[in-house]
Structures are given as structure tokens and as C-alpha cells.
Structure 1
Amino acid sequence: MKTIGLLGGMSWESTALYYKQINEEIKNRLGSLHSAKVIIYSVDFDEIEKLQHTEQWNKTADILTTAAQNIEKASADFLLICTNTMHKVVPQIQIKINIPIIHIADATAKVLQKDNIKKVGLLGTAFTMKEDFYKNRISENFGIEVLVPNEEDIKIIHKVIYEELCLGIIKEESRKKYLKIIGKLVSNGAEAIILGCTEICMLISSNDTDVKLYDTTKIHAIEAVNLALD
């Protein structure tokens, strides 16, 4: 079994989900008392969040690069960054380490391709929904059209993520808002929805809607197990 490196803490709520889902998948596949070989480096999200919202992305890259280098030194075989948004700085991090970073958008797009999804809606932070680092990777590398909500809905989604989900707060009112936004994306032609923030799965699940949901946290975690057992 290879050793999985997790760069987490963004937020710790979703990093805990990664650890749980990875170990549950290992147990499902290997049985008995098997668990995953995992190295976790968890950063202080308050520091990262302030840099995000002041557009200081190079400083976030420096912090995560140091964390990634420490994970590599601890003998991880590959690295997962446990957040969609911070994949914005993956290129800066990857050139500073020798182990591969398993990109969350690639892992998700592979599953979408397998399911023959041609047009998908994307929920995530404003950074993920509005900027090209995530959407373009899926559309250009995998040929899948990515739809995003309108500006007003982007603000709602972003606010719920940072002011509720990252704090472990789950509100029924927010669930209803998200489901309404999903309905609009489907009306615009989305065949499915990417839950493109690792906390959104805490709020929305397949029990809440008939629309096909792609939970990036679970997909990323399963890809880690695939590679660990390959």
C-alpha cells in the first residue's frame, strides 16, 4: 500500500471527511482491520482565507508549498490538496516537489466522462466558479461544458461556504437556496452538478434532489485509494 499525503485544514471540516472516506474505502476493499497509510499536514485556514480574499495567491502558494514539501519529506508517495479552491496554485506547488499532486478537477472529470456527462453545473467558492483554473481544465482537457450560476447566486453560495459550512454550521434555509440554484443550472441545460467545494457535501446530498451530484471530496478520496492500492 502506498502512503497518501493529505494537505488539509482548508477547512478542517472537509479534511476530516477525507480521512474518514479514505479509511472506509480501504476497509471496504481490504476488509479486516485494514486502514490507509496517511500523512496529514493541516494548515491554519484563517491565514489562508485572509490571503484568498485579498488576492495574495502567491503567499498562499508559499504556505502550501512548504506544507507539501514537509509531506514529501515524511515519505508520502503522492499528494492530495483537500480543497478545490487552492488548486489554483497547484502549478506553483508542483514544480517545488517531486511527488505528484492528484488534481481534484481531473479526478472529477474522469468520472463525468465515464458517465457520459457533456454539460455540468459547478458549485463552489466564487474563486472556483468565476476563474478559469478549474472550469477550463475540465472543458479543455475533457471536453465537458461547465455552467456556473449567475452573479447573485455565486455570492449566496460563497457566503454559505465561508460563514457556515467551513464552521460546521448546517442550515436548512441554506440547503433550500442551494437546491434552487441547482434547479436553475438544470434549466440551463446542466445534466449533473459538481459539488466543487469540499464542504458542500455536508449540506447537499443525493437524498435532497433527483439531479445527479458529483461530490468532489468523495471522488478525490476514492482516487487516492485507487492509487494507494495500485
Structure 2
Amino acid sequence: MKTIGLIGGMSWESTAVYYRRINESVRALRGGLHSAEIALRSLDFNRVVELQKAGRWEDAGTLLGEAGAGLARGGAACVLICTNTMHLVSEPVARLSGVPLIDIIDETAAALKADGRRNPLLLATRYTMEHGFYAERMARHGISVTVPECDARGIVHDIIFDELCQGLVEDGSRRRYLDIIEQSRARGVDSVILGCTEISLLVDPNSLPLPGYDSTAIHADAAVRFALAEELERAA
């Protein structure tokens, strides 16, 4: 088994989901008392948020890249950025880490394409919905991303930072997300991307009015496939 490197803490609420999902998947595949070999560098999210707000993406890339390099020195065979938004700086992180970076956007696109989805609604932070990097990357895979209207984007973003990243899961916020999805159906979307790693704490992707794709689960499962690639190939 290869060691999985996690750049986490953004927020730690979702990083905990990664840790559980990866270990549950390894146990399901290998049985018994098996668990994943994981190296985790958990950053201070407040520091990252300050860089986001200031638009200091180059500095953010260096911060995460140095974390990835540390994981690689510690034996990680790959790295994951455990957040969608910070994939804005995935290129410098991959370069500085020096090991394969398993990309959440590419993996989510692959899951959509496998199911024939081409026009998903993206629910994420404002940075992810509005910056352009996410839509551009999805377009390379032939997928056209739709985002909520302006006011709804603000609602989605605020619930992520003011509630989910702080461990608050509110029924009223769940209803607001579901309302936003319903409103977007008229715009021709065929699916929903939970494009922030905390959103799965609020809504179940399998209980939405449209097919849902949980980017956190997709990303974690890709890491397990990487770590167990040789075993899975022998078993095929």
C-alpha cells in the first residue's frame, strides 16, 4: 500500500471526513483490521482564509506546496489538497510537492462523464464559483458548469464559512440549499456538484432532486485507488 498525503485543515471538519472515508474504503477492500497509510499536514485555516481574502494566491500556493513537499519527504507517494477552492493553486502545489497530485476537479469530472452528465450545477465557495478556474478545468473535460444566481451564491458561500466550517449543521440551511437546487432545475442543469468539501455535512448527494456528486467522497476514493493500485490490478 502506498502512503496517501493529505494537505488538510481547510477546514478540519471536512478533513475528518476524508480520514474516515479513506480508512473505511481500505477496510472494505482489504478486510480485517486494515487501515490506510496516511500522512497528514493540517494547516491553520484562518491563515489560509486571510490569504484568500487578500487575493494572495501565489503565497497560498507556496504555503500548500511546502506542506506537500513535507509530506513527500515523510514518505507520501501522492498528495491531495483536501479542499476544492485551493485547487486554484494546484499547479504550484504539484510542482513543489514533487509527487503526483490527485486533483479533485479532474476526478469529479471523470465521475460526471461516466454517468453522461454534461451540465452540472456547482455549489461551492464564491472563490470556486466565481474565479473561473473550476469552470475552465471542467470545460477541458467537455462539461459546462452552471452556478447559482448572485444572491444564491452569497447564501451558499456564507453557510459554508459561517456554519459548516465551524461545525454547525442547520436544518434551515439545508432547506435553503435544496431551494437553490430546485430553482436551478429550470436552467437546464442535469446534476449537482457538491463542490465544497464541507457541503456533504449538510446535504446527502443521494437525496437531492437531481443526481448529486460529492466531490469529497470522489476525491477520497481516488486516493484509495492510487494507494492500492497494484493490489486492485492483481485482483482484477
Match runs of 1:192-211 below 5 Å: 192-206=191-205, 208-211=207-210
Distance, in Å, in 2 between the alignment partners of 1:101 and 1:228 is: 13
The C-alpha deviation readout for 1:39-58, integer Å capped at 9, x for no partner, is: 00000001111111121112
After TM superposition, the structure 1 = structure 2 runs for residues 49-198 of structure 1, keeping only pairs within 5 Å, are 49-139=49-139, 141-198=140-197
**Could you tell me which amino acid in structure 2 is paired with residue 26 of structure 1?**
V
TM-score, reference length from structure 2? 0.95
- The amino acid that maps onto 1:79 is V
Alpha-carbon separation, structure 2, partners of 1:229 and 1:92: 26
SS at match of 2:96: coil
Deviations 1:65-100 (A, max 9, x none): 111110010010001000000000111222223201
Name the % identity. 42
In structure 2, give the amino acid aligned to 1:112: L
User: Which AA in structure 2 matches 1:161?
Assistant: I
Aligned residue pairs: how many? 229
Moved over 4 A (4+): none
1:124-179, Cα deviation, whole Å (9 max, x unpaired) = 0000001121111011x210111001111111111000000000101111111111
Residue 209 of structure 1 and its aligned partner are, at CA, apart by 2.3
Letter in 2 for 1:154: R
Distance in 2 between the 1:37 and 1:93 partners?
21
Structure 2 unaligned residues grouped into runs of 5+:
230-236
Task: Tell me the amino acid that sits aligned with residue 120 of structure 1.
Answer: P
What residue is the counterpart of 1:46 in the other structure? 46
Q: Which residue of 1 aligns with 2:10?
A: 10
Counterparts of 2:192 and 2:74, CA distance in 1: 36
SS for the counterpart of 1:143 is coil
Amino acid at match of 1:146: V
Unmatched 5+ stretches in structure 1: none
Letter of the 1:8 counterpart: G
Amino acid at match of 1:220: H
Find the aligned partners of 2:186 and 2:160 in 1 and give their Cα distance: 24
RMSD: 1.0
State how far apart, in whole Å, the 1-side matches of 2:100 and 2:24 are.
23
CA positional deviation for 1:207: 5.6
Amino acid at match of 2:120: V
- Post-superposition offset of 1:208: 4.0
Match of 2:169, SS state, is coil
- Supply the distance in 2 between the matched residues of 1:90 and 1:145 (Cα, whole angstroms): 21
CA gap 1:7/1:218 in 2 versus in 1, 3 angstroms:
same
How far 1:183 moved relative to its partner?
1.0
- Which amino acid letter does the alignment assign opposite residue 34 of structure 1? H
Letter in 2 for 1:204: V
Secondary structure of the corresponding residue to residue 188 of structure 2: coil
* Equivalent residue letter for 2:175: K
